[in-house]
């Protein structure tokens, strides 16, 4: 991958998990899909993660024929911008052969790296998961992914993360088990790997964003920290997410006022995430909740998902109403309103 893209990824920042815009017939809405990509780039995201959980894993079903068009739309839309510096991350799933084929597709479309999700890999052990990551790494640089079990992940040992980080093709890890002990397992594993300085750590713990961004973890030599977030929560309100990421950078550098500001934001953001992600119902309404936030801002037309049964849970809409009224400072409504017509053009 280009050295500039790798450096930008290592520097960190906001990488939204890109949703899938569908029309009422559950077909790809290319106009709104492009609008989302433009929104993320202009809001200040350093990269885009496409074909990940927030995009819906059903996208990877070959019978739907959606993976290639959706990956290509994001890449060509990012190419509209003169500096063309957006780091493009493609989610890959399935057994080894399938995951490698998806990585090859992404590479052909100009993607910089592959986020290797455990989803669809089958009932295989950690050694086989490592071999799968190694095989994908022969095509594209790899981001490891600790996906929470509630949405298709599995528990993984500290030793697994150490061995994964030792693979030369691994350039980052998305840490999203939604579990503090499991998060520490990743940090300890990376610290033991001997490559801690080469691995960019991104939080995917949407329930604990602020803490992940400001905490430091002991390691050999310099302490470890998470350089940014690759998050479904950051598929919405991205302008404010960028500001939050910048505050975290300042706080880690010793700015007490930035730290106090983040501490004040922490409970509000977690509360808002609980409503959007439907934590009360085991995250069943997570993707529709993200869609509802984007619909309210005019970026999406509706909440349609590939799976007709994937919808808001009972009571979730009322919870979103509540946090919408309670935390207007978390949103970027004015930014979206000022640019929406142009993004949709």
Give the pLDDT score at 150: 84
Sign of CA pseudo-dihedral 292, 56, 128, 2 = negative
Average pLDDT over residues 176-199: 95
Average pLDDT over residues 49-71: 96
Q: What is the pLDDT of residues 232-281, one digit of tens each?
A: 999 999 999 999 999 999 999 999 999 999 999 999 999 999 999 999 99
The torsion region of residue 115 among left (phi > 0), alpha (psi -120 to 50) and beta comes to beta
CB-CB neighbours of 325 under 10 Å: 8
Give the pLDDT score at 149: 87
Distance CA 176, CA 83 (A): 30
CB 66 within 8 A of CB 344: no
Distance CA 157, CA 149 (A): 14
Tally of domains within the chain:
1
Q: What is the pLDDT of residues 313-330, one digit of tens each?
A: 999 999 999 999 999 999
Among 79, 86, 82, 105, CA closest to 94: 105
- Name the residue range of residue 275's domain: 3-344
Average pLDDT over residues 296-307: 98
pLDDT at 82 over 90: no
Average pLDDT over residues 220-228: 86
Give the pLDDT score at 84: 75
What are the two backbone dihedrals, phi and then psi, of residue 222, each rounded to the nearest 5 degrees?
Answer: -70, 145
> Coil, strand or helix: which one is 200?
strand
pLDDT at 24 over 90: yes
pTM for the full model? 0.96
Lowest mean pLDDT among 17-26, 59-68, 213-222, 287-296: 213-222
The CATH number linked to 169 is 3.20.20.70
pLDDT at 221 over 80: no
- Record the tokens describing residue 45, joined without a space: 């995201």
Confidence of residue 218 (pLDDT cuts 50, 70, 90): confident
**What share of the chain in percent tops pLDDT 90?**
91
Q: Which helix (H) or strand (E) holds 92?
A: strand 87-92
Among 231, 174, 209, 225, CA closest to 48: 231
Confidence of residue 165 (pLDDT cuts 50, 70, 90): very high
What mean pLDDT is reported for the chain?
96
Q: What is the pLDDT of residues 99-140, one digit of tens each?
A: 999 999 999 999 999 999 888 888 899 999 999 999 999 999
Give the pLDDT score at 119: 86
Q: Which helix (H) or strand (E) holds 181?
A: helix 180-193
Report CA-CA distances (Å) from 178 to 129, 153, 183.
Answer: 20, 11, 8
pLDDT at 222 over 80: no
Give the pLDDT score at 78: 97
Give the pLDDT score at 72: 98
């Amino acid at each position: 991958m280009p050295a500039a893209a790798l450096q930008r990824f290592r520097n960190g920042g906001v990488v939204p998990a890109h949703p899938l815009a569908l029309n009422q017939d559950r077909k790809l809405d290319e106009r709104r899909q492009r609008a989302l990509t433009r929104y993320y780039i202009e809001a200040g995201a350093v990269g885009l993660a496409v074909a990940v959980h927030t995009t819906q894993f059903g996208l990877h079903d070959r019978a739907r024929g959606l993976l290639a068009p959706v990956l290509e739309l994001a890449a060509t839309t990012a190419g509209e911008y003169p500096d063309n510096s957006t780091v493009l991350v493609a989610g890959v799933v399935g057994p080894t052969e399938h995951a490698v084929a998806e990585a090859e597709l992404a590479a052909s479309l100009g993607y910089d790296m592959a986020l290797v999700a455990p989803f669809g890999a089958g009932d295989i052990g950690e050694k086989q998961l490592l071999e799968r990551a190694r095989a994908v790494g022969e095509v594209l640089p790899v981001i490891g992914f600790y996906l929470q079990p509630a949405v298709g992940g599995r528990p993984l040992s500290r030793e697994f993360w150490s061995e994964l980080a030792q693979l030369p093709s691994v350039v980052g890890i998305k840490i999203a088990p939604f579990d503090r002990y499991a998060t520490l397992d990743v940090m300890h594993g990376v610290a033991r790997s001997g490559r801690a300085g080469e691995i960019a750590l991104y939080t995917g713990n949407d329930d604990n964003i602020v803490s992940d961004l400001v905490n430091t973890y002991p390691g050999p030599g310099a302490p470890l920290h998470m350089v940014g977030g690759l998050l479904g929560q950051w598929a919405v309100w991205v302008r404010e997410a960028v500001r939050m990421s910048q505050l975290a950078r300042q706080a880690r550098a010793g700015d007490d006022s930035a730290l106090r500001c983040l501490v004040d934001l922490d409970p509000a953001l977690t509360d808002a995430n609980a409503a959007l992600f439907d934590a009360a119902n085991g995250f069943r309404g997570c993707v529709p909740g993200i869609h509802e936030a984007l619909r309210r801002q005019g970026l999406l037309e509706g909440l349609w998902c590939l799976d007709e049964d994937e919808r808001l849970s009972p009571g979730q809409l009322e919870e979103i109403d509540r946090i919408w009224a309670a935390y207007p400072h978390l949103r970027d409504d004015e930014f979206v309103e000022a640019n929406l017509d142009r993004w949709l053009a």
